[in-house]
Amino acid sequence: MADYFTHFSCLLDVGTPDNAARALDLYNALSLEGAEEDPQSDGFLLSIQPEHGGTQLWMRDEATGDPQRVIDFVLVCAKTFGLTGRWGFQWSNTCSRPRVNVFAGGAHVLDLEVGETVAWISTHRWLAEMLDAGQGGKP
């Protein structure tokens, strides 16, 4: 039997150490929501990174994580703390055993000021589209 994982590790600068501390409360609220979902979200881990001045939040998976949960959290932080500019991260999808079509990844870029996606990519979807286009759309 194979196990499937989504891995990521990224930072978000929330501007001040006070914002970083407040972000922990936002994270806990989001985690409670995720625990009530059926099925439960894989979520992510969060910590404040003092080596980056105490304003950086480190978001990462424990064994596997949920990129959408990261996006939702970052958008809440952006709105709460008035963050601006673009922010993004990437992830990889892996498997504990060799399987066909299970290794992939993606990336997502947000405009923090307007709270919208700028662009995103799924390498699994991209590969399928490129292969399909090379065959003239025929199987």
Tell me, what DSSP letter sits at residue 118? E
The tens-digit pLDDT sequence of the chain (139 residues) is: 899 999 999 999 999 999 999 999 999 988 887 667 666 677 899 999 888 889 999 999 989 999 999 999 999 999 999 999 999 999 999 999 989 888 999 999 999 999 999 999 999 999 999 999 877 655 5
Give pLDDT, residue 60. Answer: 97
Does residue 43 sit within a domain?
yes
> Which three-class secondary structure state does DSSP give residue 127?
helix
Give pLDDT, residue 102. Answer: 87
Distances (CA, A) of 102 to 18, 64, 69: 41, 14, 21
Give pLDDT, residue 64. Answer: 92
Distances (CA, A) of 63 to 3, 47, 58, 74, 84: 10, 16, 15, 20, 31
Domain that holds residue 100: 4-134
| CA pair distance 17, 14, nearest whole angstrom | 8
Is the pTM here over 0.85, yes or no?
A: yes
Count of domains forming the chain: 1
Cα angle: 119, vertex 84, 49; to 5 degrees: 95
Does residue 139 sit within a domain?
no
